[in-house]
Amino acid sequence: MNENPAALLPELFLLGAAVVGLLLGAWLPRDRQWLVRLLAAAAALAGLVATAVAAARPDELVFGTSYAVDTPTHATRAIVLVAVLVALALSVDATAGHRRETEFVVLLQLGALGTIVLGGANDLLLLLAAFLLASVPFYALAGWDKSSLGTEAAMKYYLSGAFLGVAMLTGTAILYGVGRATGYGPLREGLAAAPVAAAGVGLVAVLAGLLFKVGGVPGHFWVPDVTDGTPPAVAAIVTTIPKIGGLVALYRLLTVAVPADALDWPLLVAVLAAASMTLGNLAAFFQTTVQRLLAYSTISQVGYLLIAVAVAGRADLAQPALLYYVAGYAVTNLGAFAVVAEFPQARTIEDYRGMARQHPGLAVALAVCLLGLIGTPPTAVFVGKLAVFTAAVDGGFAWLAVLAIVNTVASVFYYLRWIAPTFRGTDSEAAALRPAGTWSAGTAYACAGLAVGLGVAGGVALPLLVGLPIPV
C-alpha cells in the first residue's frame, strides 16, 4: 500500500491554500483580500513545480489502487493549474475588493481540486467523490454575485447536477454489483464476465454524470443558462475547468475499466460526440448575446473532444490528441472569456461593433481566440483538431471526422458573426465598450499569445502526452 501523501502534492497545495485562504479571508479587511488571491496563485505555481517533478518519476498507483499518478494525471494537473492561474488573473477586475472575493477564490480552488481528482481517479468511489467535489463549489460559484440571473443559473446548475449525480451514484452501484469491484483494474475483469445489459445500464448512468461535468449532450442543459447568467469570470471558469478533469475521467474510465469487446462504448461515445458538436453548433447559430454564443460553442467543442475518447485505445494518437486539445481549448476559451470580462457591459454581439477602432489590440486578441476555436492554423486548437481527426480516421471513425469537418465549417459562421462587427467601423464611441481594467485585457493578450504559442510549440508538447494510463 502506497499511502505517501507526497504523491499528491499538487492536490494538497490547492486544498491547503483553499483552507488557509478561507480562514485568512475571514479576518482580512475587504481591501486586503488580494492576499488570498496571491496565496492561491502561489499554491498553483507550487503545484505546477510539484507536477513537473512528479512527471519525471515513474508512473504509480497510490492509496491502494484508487489514484493513478501517470501521464493523464500530470497533464490534468498542469492544465487545471494553468487554468486556475489564468482564471485568477481574469477575475481581478470583477472581483477585487468585492466582499465575497475570498469566497470566489476559495470556491475556484476547491472546484479545481475536484476536477484534478476526477482526472486521476482510478476507482469508482473516488470518481464519485471527485464528481461531488468538482460540482458543489461550482454551484456556489454560479450564484456568487447573487444577481437574479445568477441565482437562477445556480439553481438550474444544481438541479441538473443533483439529478445526474444521482444517476451516477446508481450507475456506480450497478457497476459494483455486476463487476464486483470499484477499482478500475479488477472492475475490468469483473465486467468482462458480467451480464451485458446490466453493465451497459450502469455504464450509461455513470457516463451521464460525467457528461454533465463536461457539458456534453445530453448533460448540457445547464451550460447556456449558467454561462449567460453569471459574470464572465464565473462563466469562463465553469465552462473550462470542469471539462479538463471530466474528459480525462471519461477517457480513463472507458479505457481502463470497461473492456470494449464486452460493451461497445466506442460507438456510444461517437454518437454522443456527434450529437454534442452538431447540437451545440446549430444552437449557436443565431445567438445574439456573446456569452450564450460561447456557451453553445463550448458544447460543440466537447463534441470534438469526445471524438478522441471514442477512439481511445484504438488509435495511437487518441490520448495525446485529447490532452493537447484540452489544453489548447482551455487557453483559447479562457482568452475569449477574458475579452468578454474586459467589457462587462457589452452583452450582445452588436455591442462589440467598432471595437477594433477603440481597442485594436483586444480586437485582434478576440479574433485570434475565436479563429483559434474554429481551428485555424497555427493555433493550438488546430493542432488538437488535426490530431483528433487523424485519430478518428485511424480508429475507424472516418464518418465522425467528416461530420466534425462539416461542423467546423458551420461553426465558422457564428464565430464570424461576432468577429465581423468588431472590425466594422462606427466612428461614434460605442457606449457598451467600457473597459473593466487592465487585468482582463492582459489575460486576453496572454491567452491569445499562448493559443498561438502552444500551437507552434506542438512539437514540444505532444511527445509529453503519449504515456498511456496505468495499468493498461
Partner 1 sequence: MLSLIVFLPAVVAAVLLLVPATAPRRVFTGAWVGVSAVDLALVVAVWLTPGSGFRFEERVAWMPTVGISYHVGVDGISLPLVALTAVLFAGCAVFALRETRRVKSYVALFLALQTVSLGLFVALDLILFFLFFDLSIVFMYFLIAGWGHGERARAAALKFFLYTFLGSLALLLGFIVLYLAAEPHTFDIVELVAADPLAGGGPAAALALLAIGIGLAVKTPTVPFHTWLPPAHTEAPATGSAILAGILLKMGTYGFLRIAMPILPDTWRQYAVVAVVVGVVSVLYGALVALAQSDVKRMIAYTSVNHMGYVVLGVGAAGILAGSDEQARQLATTGAVTQMVAHGLITGALFLLTGVLYDRGRTYDMAAYSGLAARTPLFAGVFAVAAFASLGLPGFAGFIAEFQIFTGALASAPVATALAVLGILVTAALFLRALQRVFLGPERLPDAPGTPRPFADLHPSETVAIVPLLALATVIGVLPRFLLDVIEPASRALVELVAR
Residues that bind partner 1 (CB under 8 A): 317, 320, 371, 376-378, 383, 386-387, 389-390, 393-394, 398, 401-402, 405-406, 408-409, 412-413, 416, 420, 423-425, 458-459, 462-463, 466
Is 455 within 8 Å of 377 (Cβ atoms)? yes
Residues 6+ apart with CB under 8 A from 56: none
Whole-angstrom distance, CA of residue 24 vs CA of residue 37: 11
| Cis ω for the linkage preceding 195 (within 30 of 0) | no
Q: How far is the CB of 74 from partner 1 (least distance, A)?
A: 17
Residues 6+ apart with CB under 8 A from 275: 217, 218, 303
Q: Which is nearer to partner 1, 217 or 371 (CB)?
A: 371
Q: Which is nearer to partner 1, 185 or 378 (CB)?
A: 378
Reported as type and span, the H/E element at residue 285 is none
Q: How far is the CB of 356 from partner 1 (least distance, A)?
A: 8
Q: Which is nearer to partner 1, 29 or 425 (CB)?
A: 425
Q: How far is the CB of 304 from partner 1 (least distance, A)?
A: 13
Whole-angstrom distance, CA of residue 53 vs CA of residue 407: 40
Q: Which is nearer to partner 1, 91 or 408 (CB)?
A: 408
Within a 10 A sphere around the Cβ of 360, how many other Cβ atoms?
12
Q: Which is nearer to partner 1, 133 or 404 (CB)?
A: 404
Q: Which is nearer to partner 1, 41 or 282 (CB)?
A: 282
Length of the chain in terms of residues written: 472
Q: How far is the CB of 458 from partner 1 (least distance, A)?
A: 5
Is 321 within 8 Å of 393 (Cβ atoms)? no
Whole-angstrom distance, CA of residue 353 vs CA of residue 237: 26
Q: How far is the CB of 423 from partner 1 (least distance, A)?
A: 6
Residue 61 phi/psi, 5° resolution?
-105, 135
Q: How far is the CB of 381 from partner 1 (least distance, A)?
A: 12
| Residue found by looking up cell 467598432 in the block | 354
